[in-house]
Structure 1
Amino acid sequence: MSEQTTLIHDTSSIPVCSAVTGQTVYQLQESGQEGVNTLFEQARTVARELRQTPLKQRQHAVEQVMDYIRDNRDHIVDRICDETGKTRTDALVSEIMGVLDNLEWNVHNAPKILKDEKVATPITLLGKKSRIFHEPYGVILKVAPWNYPFHIAMTFSLGAFLAGNAVILKPSEQTPLQGLLEEVLAASPLIKRAVQVAYGTGITAQQLIAARPDKIFFTGSTRTGKRILRQASDLLIPAEMELGGKDQMIVFDDVNLKRTVAGALWGALTNAGQSCTSVERLYIHDSIYDEFVKQLVTETEKLVVNTGDRGDSDIGAITAGFQLNIIEQHVEDARSKGAKILTGGARLGDNFYLPTVITDITPDMQLHTEETFGPLIPVYRFSSEKDVIRETNSFQYGLSASVWSKNLNRAERVARAIEVGAVSINNVMLTEGNPALPFGGQKESGFGRAKGAEGLRAFTRSKSILIDKQSGIIEPNWYPYTMKKYRIFDKLIEVLFTKSPVKLLKLAVTGMKLEGEAKQPRG
């Protein structure tokens, strides 16, 4: 495989700013059509070679990258924190540990997930064998978001590679981690060639889609996802979408208040609320509402807002300036329409927003219906299980949720009733902590699944195989058709699909008649 640079150069320049200082740290180059063409030429060459590369070799390559991430985690955390404004603990746990945990699971389970499957063959096809091959697509395009730029880039790219694909990764221009991604991928010579990085804005994304990858995986906003789908559909390119969320946390009256308040606090504010599965709708049962909110406000005001920490800060910066504007707009809109801001509700410095608890929310407020993606805890009250299910299902989003109750039968009943892709019971955002569980949403939160066996197989096409012996047998359903054969087939349908204690015996007799008739030439 020939070596190619993974950075495409053109004349367009995009400033990349530190979320901590606000200063430009480097200039990013927008890709051009010629560069995109070069990327795809190499990717298709690599994809053909990867089809002949044993899985063990691909597993070893991923393990080389995992070792590098583990051994250089402090350096990687530094870069992540600078571009995203995350606290060090958020970066270490969600980005580093999350990547290693998912990749380790994939490497360990890939042999059984990707191996050829034996499938039962019906009695009417007696003597034949059935198989399913799970084959790589070829070239996967991953368009990654700005909120978890390392985790999502690495887990998708290396998962696709492990399944046998070449990958073109398009990071967000907000947090591209230029140079760091290449440095990590270069830990394996094979992955360095197989996974390439294309930098730029939506212009680059459009050019990459126009070059016809074999499948697209997108993580980001619902609005952008719809644009990508429109372009992909015209080209008949399959795509999987992990889009926005407005996740609900439903708290019944029998919970441990202290623990549940702590869960709500973290679930809403981790990564400064910049997660698609952050709690954006906190439903509290009437009977505990007042005390719960009181404790929630008290604990919120204890949080440390800071970056550049050593691991002892709770809330970091808002990564993108436009997102900070959206947060302010949602809060001010709610305030002007009668919502109560119990704590927070203001910008802190240039890049921070105070953790904010909001009550008395009404349907006409933007933060009620739109994804805020910030350190807000919008609190609602409810009185009955039926009402809270109806309310939560009325939203257009359906990514994930959590249900809290000592009554596990009730919690599971509610989990089944709400229209989301994942539910944590008596915990929050925990389905994402198990690499074996698939991740994805419903409705305008997208479709398709990442993680788990379903997620790894999403990088493959299934191919059905039926194996027959090379013999002189003429199949009964082949030509010639005769009236006698028609009558025997008619009898076969009756025997096959009617319950009878001697069904197998009748099938054998009918089958022998068909075989005999199939040997007869047309008279």
Structure 2
Amino acid sequence: MELGSPAHAAEVKPRAERRFDVFNPFDGALVGQAPDIECRTLEATFVEGARLARTLRSNQIIQRRLGVWAVKIEAHRDELAKLVSLETGKPIRLARIEVSAAVSALHAFTLCPELPLVRDSTSAHSAFAILNWCDPVFSTVTEAATVLSSGRALVLKPSSRAPLASQAVGALWQDYNEFDALFSVVPSTDAIGMFRAALMSSHVTEVRFRGSRDVAAFVASACDEAVAPVTISTSERLPLVLDAGTDAQAASDAIIGRAFLQPLLPCGERVSCLYVHDSLADPFVRALVEKMSALRVGDPLGDETDIGPVIDDVATALISEQVEEALLEGAALAGEQPLFAGRRLRPMVLDYATPSMRVCSEDVEGPVVPVIRFSHPSELPNAKYLTIESLVSSATSGRLDFSKRN
């Protein structure tokens, strides 16, 4: 949890040049260095951004700038995709999809009509956003476009696990005029200090967070105590229910794409665990393991790679703990026994899992899918869940449907 324990910084240089190293999770090679911005310098950034935001009378300038930004990002698509792969371990073909999705999102914002911006004398016009390491280009672009289009400035702190792609996208925003200061990317290993600086600034009227549920709860609680508006975006993980009439082969195909390859989805939902009817469980697990074994694990820069490395050793240790606890509590690994010696984990199916297991209820930063067998609808979750029909419809319509038992 980055907000709970700041990342390790490289050798500290003189204050004005302090930087930290970013490493490739695949082989540990140095990807690059990011500036380690000091939290006490943020107030000046908030002040300048808010000042410029107050000069805007319509969104016309922003719309024009977003269009230019989209063109620049498209021109650097391959470079940005490579950077995403190097610092996050995301396979390069999925990183290319992410960059293309970011460009499409910007074009969508530019299609909005020109609108006047209503200003009052009491409100400041600056927001502070905290991102996790997932989808750094797409998240940076959508956060910036959302805030800037509303006539506010944005200061964005990327994850110290993957700051370089966000920093590169932020540099492409620059157009060498005063409005450049409306959007700033501020990498730092001091997540707590940056967060506190934003809460203490009178120029910040919103804190935005995109990341895991655990950190989101911490951010929401701190903002509540500081009486600061907060917007939380989490990548919601939902159970998927497969009833007795489901086709095992078709279901395994859909789940491979959603649970293991994790494509960029408009709604961001991911499968947390599978509820599989007893009559379907054996053939389904066999089919899933067979398809899972064909997935290629390796160098994220390889065009044929399906599964890249886990982001870091902390995530690897967490996955190991979750799986080992599940095995002790009665779950069983289907197929080949995985090794936890490094970050290159093969996809895992945990059969005979139960809802109370951590691997079913917590965020999992690796290729693990638990299977919970059930015999009666009363055993299904009370909260909303996915169905196989919703996966099929989302593939064609870009939307997800949810089911909920009464």
Q: TM-score interval w.r.t. the shorter chain?
A: 0.7 to 0.9
Q: Does 1:155 align with 2:142?
A: yes
SS in structure 2 at match of 1:287: helix
Provide closer, same or farther for how the CA distance between residues 66 and 292 of structure 1 changes in structure 2, counting only shifts above 3 A. same
What's the offset of the Cα at 1:11?
Answer: 7.3
Query: For 1:106-126, what per-residue CA distance to the aligned partner results, in whole angstroms no more than 9, with x for missing partners?
Result: 222x328x679xxxxxxxxxx
Please state if 1:42 is matched with 2:83.
no
Give the structure-1-normalised TM-score.
0.66
Q: What's 1:264 paired with?
A: 255
Distance in 1 between residues matched to 2:158 and 2:42, nearest whole Å: 14
Aligned ranges for residues 239-278 of structure 1 at < 5 Å? 239-243=230-234, 245-271=236-262, 277-278=269-270
Asked if the contact 2:316/2:340 (under 8 Å) is kept, the reply is no
Deviations 1:106-147 (A, max 9, x none): 222x328x679xxxxxxxxxxxxxxxx799971111111111
Q: Is the CA contact (8 Å cut-off) linking 1:355 and 1:376 kept in structure 2?
A: yes
Q: Quote the Cα distance in structure 1 between the aligned partners of 2:247 and 2:214.
A: 38
- Hey, what's the Cα distance between the residues in 1 that align with 2:70 and 2:147? 15
Shift of 1:190: 6.6
- Structure 2 vs 1, CA of residues 83 and 173 (structure 1 numbering), >3 Å: closer, same or farther? same
Aligned-pair CA distance for 1:430: 7.8
1:288-307 mapped onto 2 (5 Å cutoff): 288-307=280-299
What letter is aligned with 2:145? L
Task: Pick the aligned partner of 1:228 from 197, 203, 219.
Answer: 219
> How many pairs are equivalent?
381
CA distance in 2 between partners of 1:11 and 1:345 (Å): 47
Asked whether the equivalents of residues 212 and 235 of structure 2 are also in contact (C-alpha less than 8 Å), the reply is yes
Deviations 1:398-435 (A, max 9, x none): 7xx42124xxxxxxxxxxxxxxxxxx45356888x46x
Q: 1:87 aligns with which of 86, 91, 98?
A: 91
**Residue 426 (structure 1) aligns with:** 392
Q: Which has the larger radius of gyration?
A: 1
- Aligned 1:411-490 pairs, distance under 5 A: 424-427=390-393, 433=398
Q: Quick one: percent identity of the two aligned structures?
A: 20
Q: 1:320 aligns with which of 291, 312, 325?
A: 312
CA contact (8 A) 2:272 2:361 kept: no
* C-alpha distance in structure 2 between counterparts of 1:357 and 1:427, whole Å: 24
- Partners of 1:241 and 1:403 lie apart in 2 by 25
Equivalent residue in structure 2 for 1:97, among 59, 79, 100: 100
Note the alpha carbon deviations across 1:76-130, whole angstroms, 9 max, x for none: 111111100110111111x21221232222222x328x679xxxxxxxxxxxxxx
Partners in 1 of 2:301 and 2:144 — Cα distance?
30
Matched, 1:208 2:212: no
CA contact (8 A) 1:264 1:428 kept: no
Q: Is residue 402–residue 428 contact of structure 1 (8 Å, CA) maintained in 2?
A: no
Does 2:181 align with 1:197?
A: no
Relative to structure 1, the CA distance from residue 185 to residue 146 in structure 2 (aligned partners, 3 Å threshold; closer, same or farther) is: same
Unaligned runs of 5+ in 1: 1-7, 117-132, 406-423, 440-523
For residue 373 of structure 1, give the secondary structure of its aligned residue in structure 2.
Answer: coil
| Partner Cα separation in structure 1 for residue 140 and residue 168 of structure 2 | 12
User: Which of residues 64, 67, 73 is equivalent to 2:68?
Assistant: 64
CA distance in 2, matches of 1:74, 1:374: 25
Distance 2:393 2:76 in 1: 31
One-letter identity of the residue aligned with 1:289: A
- Which ranges in structure 2 are unaligned for 5 or more consecutive residues? 1-13, 402-406
What's 1:176 paired with? 163
- Matched residue, 1:111: 113
CA distance, structure 2, for counterparts of residue 115 and residue 103 of structure 1: 20
Shift of 1:62: 0.5
Q: TM-score, normalised by structure 2?
A: 0.83
| Secondary structure, aligned partner of 1:372 | coil
Deviation at 1:326, TM superposition (A): 0.7
Q: Which amino acid aligns with 1:199?
A: P
Question: Aligned equivalents of 1:389 and 1:283: distance in 2?
Answer: 9
CA RMSD across the alignment: 3.2
Q: Distance in 2 between matches of 1:322 and 1:388?
A: 32
User: Match of 1:15, SS?
Assistant: strand
Which position in structure 2 is the counterpart of 1:22? Answer: 28
